[in-house]
Amino acid sequence: MAARVDRLVTAGVFTLDGGSWDVENNVWIVGDDHEAVVIDAAHDAEAIETALGGRTLRAIVCTHAHNDHIDAAPALAAATGAPVLLHPDDLPLWRLTHPGRAPDGELADGQTLTVGGVGLTVLHTPGHAPGAVCLYAPALATVFTGDTLFRGGPGATGRSYSDFPTIVDSIAKRLLTLPPETAVRPGHGDATAIGEESPHLEEWIQRGH
């Protein structure tokens, strides 16, 4: 399989609801030696462009529109000519960071993006944000989960535009139904696997009651 997954960690600040937090983000680059897509252009457009290594960037895919996942997207788009893609339900969050610059295209549930001979299927997984999506690449046995699912549980739902029962429902119906060996590559922190997280579903459900 010529396609591969590269991980770049960038650092910056997450801001929402009047608070700010120092964060490190995973920027996932999926493709082959000739072309790639970037999943979540976080903090440092120059570093992301360098990591591409001269490959053609086909798209900048946003798993959701919290500022720490999209702050470098317009600059990376300007440098590469790649379109920025976002689920439309996250436009209110996007406008908090980029009020004068709209995304270039929409992501839709069930849509497939192809790069380096590999298909990435968009799974709409609201809860952490209304337009949160995950990207499932069965050929790579991988799902890119943004801030929907991490090692140890669901993403945070304590701030605006989020809802805990919704994120648990999304995880149960859209992610835990994937093969257990599927690698989970989140927006922050270490990878895990569907089979490692699925036994904890009932515990998460009870947490919401």
**Above 80 in pLDDT, residue 1?**
no
Pure H helices in 53-120: 67-70, 73-80, 91-97
H or E segment at 154?
A: strand 153-154
Beta bridge partners of 86: 106
pTM above 0.85, yes or no: yes
The C-alpha atoms of residue 118 and residue 95 are separated, in whole angstroms, by: 31
- Token pair 């922190």: residue: 189
pLDDT tens figures, 134-165: 999 999 999 999 999 999 999 999 999 999 99
Q: How far apart are the first and last CA of the chain?
A: 45
Tell me, what DSSP letter sits at residue 12? Answer: E
The C-alpha atoms of residue 54 and residue 202 are separated, in whole angstroms, by: 46
pLDDT average, residue stretch 193-204: 94
pLDDT tens figures, 91-139: 999 999 999 999 999 999 999 999 999 999 999 999 999 999 999 999 9
